[in-house]
Each structure stands twice: as C-alpha cells, then as structure tokens.
Amino acid sequence: MVNHHHTGIVLKLLLIPMVLVYFSSGYAAEEISNISVQRQAELQNLLIQDCGSCHGMTLKGGLGPALTTDALKNKSRKMIEVTIALGRPGTPMPPWNRILTKEEIHWIVNILYTGVRL
Amino acid sequence: MMFFIKTIPVIFFFSLLGACSSMHLRGTGDLGVVIERASGSIQIVETTNKTALSRVVGLGDLSHASVVYSRDERYAYVFGRDGGLTKINILSSKITKRIIQSGNSIGGAISQDGKQVAVSNYKPGGVKIFDSNTLELIADIPATYGSENKQSKVVGLVDAPGQRFVFSLYDADEIWLADLASGKPVITKYKNIGRQPYDGLITPDGRYYIAGLFGEDGLVVLDLWYPEKGVKRILDNYGRGSKKMPVYKMPHLEGWAMTENYAFLPAVGRNTVLVVNRRNWKQVTSIAVHGQPVFVMARPDGRQVWVNFAYPRNDTVQVIDTDKLKVIKTLKPGKAILHMEFTPRGEQVWVSARDAGKVTIYDTENFNSVATLPMNKPSGIFFTHRAHRIGL
C-alpha cells in the first residue's frame, strides 16, 4: 500500500476499486468468524427470500429500491446499515434491529456490497 | 405400388387411433398451479387425488408471482417479478408463449370476457393490456402523474364488470379506472385519495374497489355502480395508528375474507384480525392472533377464516370460527408459510411452507393433514376455479 504514493495519478485511480475490493473481502472474512455457519445460511435465506419480497429475489428492486452491487456502489455502507437497523420512516421499510443483531446487519451489508450468491 | 397406396392411409389411421387412446383426456376444473419462487418454476397439481402432475421451468424471477386463468381453465398466465408474462397450457404443461413486458411487475388480472390480460408494473410504472390469445399488446397505460410526468408504481390491479380494470398508483396517491369496452382504454382518475395506496381488492360481487393506504390510516372505497360519485373513506382508524408499528410483510388485501355479515381484515402492524360490519364498515371486534396477519381467507362456505403471518412468526396458521369470532385451531405446517388456497368447495386447504419445502393439505373439518407434497420453495397456490371469480 505504501508504494501507492509513488505511482501516477491514473494508476492511483485504477487502484481505488482494487483497494475497495481488498477491504471489503477482508471485511467479510473477518465477520465469518463471529456468526455461525448455520446462522449465515439463515441470513442468506432471509436476504434472498424475505428482503426479496420487496427488493426482488435478484435484488433488482420492487416496492423497495434495487440492492445490487451496482445500485449500492455510490451509497455509504454506514447509511445502508442504519437503514436496515432503523427502517425508513415514510416507507414500508421496517426497522430490523428488533430481529437482527448489529453484527448480523453488518454481515448482510457486506454480502450486499460484495455481491450476493443468488 | 397398390399395396403402398392402400396401406399408408391405414397405417396413418391406426397410428392416429393409437395416439388418441394413449392420450388421457381430462378436464381442468380440479387442476392448479403452485409457484416455486426460487427456481423460476411451477408445478401443476390436481386436487382430486392430491398429486403433483408436472413441472414447468424457465419462468424467471417468481418472487411475488401470481396467476390468473383463461375462462376455459386451460391456460395459466403467470406474472413474474421480472416483467415476465408466461402463458402455460396446463393440460400439456408446455409454455404457449412467454414475453418480458416490463422491467419489474407486481401482478395481473384477466378481463370479464377473458380476452384481455392486464399487468401492473413498477418499472416502468403503469399497466399493459395484452390479447389473452396471442399476448400481443392491446394498450399501454403509463401511470404518469404530477407536473414532471413521473411514472408511479402500480398496485392493486383487479378486473371489474363491464370490461374494466381498476388499479392504484402507489407514488401518486391516485386510483385509476380503465374502461376497455370500446377496445381502447378510457381512463377515469381519482386523485388525492390518501397517501401510498399499497394494495387493492374488489368485493366478490364486483361492486366495490377498496384500496389500503400505507401512508395514513383508513381505507378508500370506489363504488363501481356509481363511479361518478368518486371515492369515499371508510374505517378511519384502520392502519398502523399513531404508534406506527413496524410491518415486516405488507398484508395482502386480495385475500380479505367476506362472510354474510362481516369482513375480516388483517390489522396492519398488529397481531390482530379486525372484524368489520359489511353494511356500515364499523368495527365489530378484533381477534388476537399469533402474529401480524398477511392473508386472511374465508373458506368458501364462510364458516372459517384461515390466517397466516408475517416474518418472523410465519411458521403458523390459525383458524377463526366466524360465528364464535375466536381462534379455534393453531397449526404449524412448517417454516415460512406464504399462502393458502381452498379447494373449490372448501373441504380441503393447501398450505405452502417455503422454507420447509412442502405443501401441506388439510381437511378443514378435522384439521388433519391428509397429504404433503414436496415442492421447491413454494409460495402462491392458485386453483383453476379462480377463472370464474371476479377479481381473482
């Protein structure tokens, strides 16, 4: 990473997505240790099936907006986590913090940003 | 040479006869379709012997998929989330025609005369109407609203007597009545009906269109006998109320149970079923139930109402006695109960359990499970008798 200071601006820009990928995949790997494999399967099912009821099973949107990696790329990860936890007043999006822990919401958001296995 | 000329027609005749006798002629009145939402497939089922007959694949994203039937009950029209509209011959279990008519759709309806199939779309927001025979586009009705000509998501699309379709504009707070009697749509728009209509139903007699509001309490009624009188508000306290409880799955209005005196409605965000007097729309009582109700469906004779529930309490089905107005049975058919469908005269009910991967068939008199059918993430169950019901 230190070497980046010596590379040209163009190369730097090219590296940004790679760095993001690096961090996001590292992030996901970190979370796996906290949530059991069985719970991960449940969360994955929840995401595709139940979130999918409003956001579409391919996450391309429905009553709720699209949640594809493309749709999320310009949105802050923190904002998405807060939206899942607290819901969005004025819309049908309910607060999930009554059902999911902070870590579980974190894990789901990671999955969304790294691309869901459909 | 003579031999050939004489025998060819004879062979042809016998091969035809063979084909006919091996072909199993049957009606379709006891057939139905179960949506397998995750695999983009359906299973064709029959209710007499309670069996699955065949599977049809390649139907796209079937989350929230629904089905209407041609009036001869031979063809099922499957509306997919991804804008797919598929016409399936349920006798041969073959796709007759499949089109992608929009980017994102939510449901459909078939016209009174059976000649038009309408689809309500989220993206681009509006309704498209197709020839039910060919699936050729007859009319495109973009749901444009406001000064910027935005397009609203369309929900609660139903057929109404007189070759009409009624639907609600979620983003525009409007109800539109599309009259296709002349072949071209004539639209009547009802504006400022209330915030965020999220679903609609038509009463079984085809007279009243009722829309539920997400953005505020109350319901909106349009009397289709007197559409010129405009919309009315009823049940002002129906909704989430001042406390705005979170709603983990939007209740469905299509399944509203109507008995002789009462309508049974799913409360929004609360663990109750509301009982309302059908004459004056005043609440009679509320019945405490297991979770937030999603479908509240009356057995065809009106003696029982069956209820399923929103995530995370969605492993349960409850039965309400409509005379005693209380829960008389609680069943646990498996994880993620998504839908219920009664046989045409209601002696049995089919219940889909998505995460349990099965459909359970119950005897509605003694509540015994009489059969289970393995299915791949089953959701909606649609039997062919819907073909002859207004609004289904």
Nearest Cα of chain B lies from the Cα of A29 at a distance, in angstroms, of 27
Q: Which two tokens stand for residue B313?
A: 């309490």
Gap between the Cα atoms of B47 and B55, Å rounded: 16
- Residue A5 at interface with chain B, using a CB cutoff of 8 Å: no
What residues of A are in contact with residue B170 (Cβ under 8 Å)? 63
| CATH number assigned to the domain with residue range A2-114, chosen from the 4 options 1.10.10.10, 1.10.760.10, 3.40.50.300, 1.10.357.10 | 1.10.760.10
* pLDDT of chain B, 392 residues: tens digit per residue: 445 545 545 445 444 444 444 567 999 999 999 999 989 999 999 999 999 999 999 999 898 899 999 999 999 999 998 999 999 999 999 999 999 999 888 899 999 999 999 999 998 999 999 999 999 999 999 999 999 999 999 999 999 999 999 999 999 999 999 999 998 999 999 999 999 999 999 998 999 999 999 888 889 999 999 999 999 999 887 877 666 678 888 888 766 788 888 999 998 888 999 999 988 888 999 999 999 999 999 999 999 999 999 999 999 999 999 999 999 999 999 999 999 999 999 999 999 999 999 999 999 999 999 999 999 999 999 999 999 999 99
Task: Please indicate whether, in this complex, the C-beta atoms of A92 and B312 are within 8 angstroms of each other.
Answer: no
Model ipTM value: 0.74
pLDDT in tens, B111-169: 999 999 999 999 899 999 999 999 999 999 999 999 999 999 999 999 999 999 999 99
- Residue B230 at interface with chain A, using a CB cutoff of 8 Å: no
- Dihedrals φ, ψ of B107, to 5°? 170, 180
The Cβ of residue B150 has, within 10 Å, a number of other Cβ atoms equal to 12
pLDDT in tens, B238-274: 877 666 678 888 888 766 788 888 999 998 888 999 9
List, in order of start, the domains of chain B with CATH numbers. 101-249 (2.130.10.10)
Q: Which of B290, B303, B296, B298 is nearest to B365 (CA)?
A: B303
What residues of A are in contact with residue B246 (Cβ under 8 Å)? 87, 94-95, 98
- Residue B367 at interface with chain A, using a CB cutoff of 8 Å: no
CA B2 to chain CA centroid, Å, is 61
Is pLDDT above 60 for A26?
A: no
Yes or no: say if A77 and A10 are a contact pair by the CB < 8 Å rule: no
Domain spans in chain A, listed from the N-terminal domain onward? 2-114
Interface mutation vs chain B, best among A49, A99, A100, A104, most B CBs within 10 Å: A49
Q: pLDDT class for A29, splitting at 50, 70, 90?
A: very low
Nearest Cα of chain A lies from the Cα of B122 at a distance, in angstroms, of 7
Is pLDDT above 90 for A50?
A: no
Q: Which of A117, A51, A58, A61 is nearest to B60 (CA)?
A: A58
Return residues 14-43 of A near B (CB < 8 Å): none
3-class state of residue A1 by DSSP: coil
Interface mutation vs chain A, best among B245, B248, B252, most A CBs within 10 Å: B248
